């Protein structure tokens, strides 16, 4: 019994008087690192198996690479479902179920006999699992940090960059004939089971503001007394009951039963996520049962609409095939095949530096944090046009390196930046993340539909997409000000 109670104490909700800045949040950050490894890290590594899958299924490159857009679209389109499940059942069970689904989809893909079957296993089943693991984890990680939120998320998101290097090295050291893509899928699927353990580490967070000792009796209603005090009062009533022989004994017993039922109900709800909202009056507790499972009212906010359109068009520009486009573009410029590997390594290394420095910069700036993201998007558009017009290898190489840096900074901050959008905040972030990811997913699906087979012609459209994304991001704050003046 002591072991069970100690486990419940460790895995129960963490109570803080205010939004914390670390603590158990660093354990959640480690869990998010492995979630990134087995979600976006694996998605970015899928191109390693492209040649083998093309040869075995006798399919074109575009048909094989359709697996990635389907997977990422499923991951984003089902984001509202992830929000509903997280608000209803909690982050922990949602992530654990997602870990099981992503592992099942990856392992079953090793037994597929056609690319269409892989669309279902990796595209839909694993995509749904990625959604149920990634979005709840980054949401609860944002709630555990206040001052160093972006630094923590940037460090934890490095798993997306590290896993492709590790998998590529292992796959190249051992000959393809010895391993094969099917065996690799089985091994990766087994490793993805560890995400279930990562989900178990996502302890819910409870914010319980401190109260002054003199004001506690007057400011808090007696009906909201602590659970331990209710148990004490009930025990005293039970001990005094035999000595109080009265005609109302039966009514007293029924009243005690009702109190016991209420206490049991409170104990059952004790482990659920609870958000305490601070106000000038008495503190009120909002439980998942009393809040909206998915707050569609965020769609009435003009600033959120602009931010969602930024995500949509930025996805068109910084799509998952963007690096492939750069490499094909490098070949058109006459770069040798031996240079493409070091070039890809340079881009990914600069992305790691961009993630780390971008997160630290956002936490340190004294002005609006969203302006840092806007600056990165403007520079990303300018550098993309520069690379498109560059005719020399050295200029293109420097442009590719700076692109990787800016992409890393943008990718690490665009989701947690939703908490900085006016009138959203950290309280409405779960619903905002779900709807934002759903809108963003259509940009991923539109990439192969619009641009088809010719990867070398994607870069001009990418510049347009990133430019439109920067435009809508710049409209977020002005639209918010206009909307506030109308309400006044």
Considering the domain boundaries, does residue 181 fall inside one? Answer: yes
320 and 448 part of one domain: yes
**Strands 205-207 and 275-277: what pairing?**
unpaired
Q: Which two tokens stand for residue 166?
A: 């590790």
What pLDDT is attached to residue 69? 87
CB 375 within 8 A of CB 321: no
425 and 298 part of one domain: yes
Instruction: Using only the alpha carbons of the chain, give its radius of gyration.
Output: 26
Choosing from 209, 240, 269, the residue where a domain stops is 209
Q: What is the 3-state secondary structure (H, E, C) of 427-483?
A: CCHHHHHHHHHHHHHHHHHHHHHHHCCCHHHHHHHHHHHHHHHHHHHHCHHHHHHHH
Say how far apart CA 159 and CA 191 lie, in whole Å. 14
Say how far apart CA 127 and CA 101 lie, in whole Å. 9
Considering the domain boundaries, does residue 129 fall inside one? Answer: yes
24 and 153 part of one domain: yes
Beta bridge partners of 205: 14
- 350-389 pLDDT, tens per residue? 888 989 888 888 888 888 888 999 999 999 888 888 877 7
Residues (pLDDT < 70) of the chain are 1-11, 169, 171-178, 210-291, 319-344, 390-394, 396, 422-426, 448-459, 485-488
What pLDDT is attached to residue 386? 80
The answer for 465, left when phi > 0, alpha when psi is -120 to 50, beta otherwise, is: alpha
Which residues span the domain enclosing 487?
294-488
What pLDDT is attached to residue 319? 66
Smallest CA-to-CA distance from 434 within 286, 293, 301 is with: 293
Choosing from 169, 193, 209, the residue where a domain stops is 209
178 and 311 part of one domain: no
What pLDDT is attached to residue 488? 58
State how far the alpha carbon of 243 is from the alpha carbons of 8, 237, 246, 258, in Å: 38, 10, 9, 21
Say how far apart CA 37 and CA 55 lie, in whole Å. 27
173 and 304 part of one domain: no
Considering the domain boundaries, does residue 119 fall inside one? Answer: yes
Choosing from 193, 209, 225, the residue where a domain stops is 209
Number of domains forming the structure of the chain: 2
Q: On the CB side of 460, how many CA atoms lie within 13 Å of its CA?
A: 6
The set of residues, in sequence order, having a beta carbon less than 8 Å from that of 216 and lying 6+ positions away, is: none
298 and 202 part of one domain: no
335 and 468 part of one domain: yes
179 and 80 part of one domain: yes
Considering the domain boundaries, does residue 242 fall inside one? Answer: no
Provide the 8-state DSSP code for 1. Answer: -
CB 250 within 8 A of CB 237: no
Considering the domain boundaries, does residue 150 fall inside one? Answer: yes
Say how far apart CA 334 and CA 337 lie, in whole Å. 9
165 and 299 part of one domain: no
CATH code: domain of residue 425: 1.20.1250.20
173 and 308 part of one domain: no
89 and 194 part of one domain: yes
Smallest CA-to-CA distance from 204 within 35, 28, 26, 82 is with: 28
Give burial (CB, 10 Å; 0-12/13-18/19+) of 242.
exposed
Considering the domain boundaries, does residue 194 fall inside one? Answer: yes
Considering the domain boundaries, does residue 270 fall inside one? Answer: no
CB 287 within 8 A of CB 89: no
What pLDDT is attached to residue 242? 46
What pLDDT is attached to residue 214? 47
Q: In 285-428, which ranges are continuous DSSP H helix?
A: 302-317, 322-332, 337-364, 370-389, 393-413
Considering the domain boundaries, does residue 228 fall inside one? Answer: no
303 and 446 part of one domain: yes
């Amino acid at each position: 019994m002591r072991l069970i109670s100690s486990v419940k104490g460790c895995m129960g909700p963490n109570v803080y008087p205010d939004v914390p800045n670390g603590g158990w949040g660093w354990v959640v950050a480690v869990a998010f690192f492995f979630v990134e490894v087995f979600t976006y890290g694996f998605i970015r590594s899928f191109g390693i198996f492209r040649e083998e899958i093309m040869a075995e299924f006798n399919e074109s490159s575009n048909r094989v690479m359709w697996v990635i857009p389907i997977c990422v679209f499923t991951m984003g389109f089902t984001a509202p479902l992830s929000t509903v499940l997280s608000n209803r059942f909690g982050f922990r069970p949602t992530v654990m179920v997602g870990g099981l689904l992503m592992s099942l989809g990856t392992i079953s893909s090793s037994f597929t006999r056609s690319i269409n079957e892989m669309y279902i296993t990796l595209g839909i089943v694993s995509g749904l699992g990625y959604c149920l693991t990634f979005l709840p984890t980054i949401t609860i990680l944002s709630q555990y940090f206040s001052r160093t939120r972006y630094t923590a998320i940037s460090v934890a998101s490095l798993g997306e960059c590290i896993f492709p290097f590790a998998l590529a090295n292992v796959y190249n050291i051992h000959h393809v004939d010895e391993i094969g893509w099917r065996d690799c899928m089985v091994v990766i699927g087994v490793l993805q089971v560890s995400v279930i353990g990562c989900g178990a580490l996502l302890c819910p967070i409870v914010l319980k503001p401190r109260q002054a000792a003199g004001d506690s009796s007057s400011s808090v209603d007696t009906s909201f007394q602590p659970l331990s005090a209710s148990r004490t009062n009930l025990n005293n009533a039970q001990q005094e009951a035999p000595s109080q022989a009265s005609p109302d004994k039966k009514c007293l017993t029924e009243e005690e039963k009702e109190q016991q039922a209420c206490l049991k109900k409170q104990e059952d709800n004790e482990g659920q996520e609870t958000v305490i909202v601070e106000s000038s009056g008495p503190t009120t507790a909002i439980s998942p049962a009393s809040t909206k499972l998915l707050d569609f009212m965020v769609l009435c906010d003009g600033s959120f609409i602009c931010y969602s359109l930024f995500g949509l068009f930025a996805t068109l520009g910084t799509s998952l095939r963007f690096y492939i486009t750069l490499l094909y573009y490098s070949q058109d410029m006459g770069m040798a095949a031996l240079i493409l590997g070091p070039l890809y390594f340079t881009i990914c290394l600069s992305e790691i530096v961009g993630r780390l420095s971008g997160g630290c910069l956002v936490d340190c700036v004294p002005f609006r944090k969203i302006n840092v993201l806007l600056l990165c998007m403007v520079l990303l558009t300018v550098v993309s046009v520069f690379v498109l017009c560059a005719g020399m290898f050295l200029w293109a190489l420097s442009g590719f390196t700076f692109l990787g840096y800016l992409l890393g900074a943008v990718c690490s901050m665009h989701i947690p930046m939703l908490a900085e959008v006016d009138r959203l905040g950290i309280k409405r972030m779960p619903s905002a993340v779900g709807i934002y990811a759903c809108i963003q997913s259509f940009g991923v699906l539109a990439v192969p539909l619009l641009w088809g087979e010719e990867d070398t012609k994607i870069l001009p459209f990418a510049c347009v997409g990133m430019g439109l994304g920067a435009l809508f991001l710049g409209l977020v704050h002005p639209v918010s000000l206009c909307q506030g003046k109308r309400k006044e």
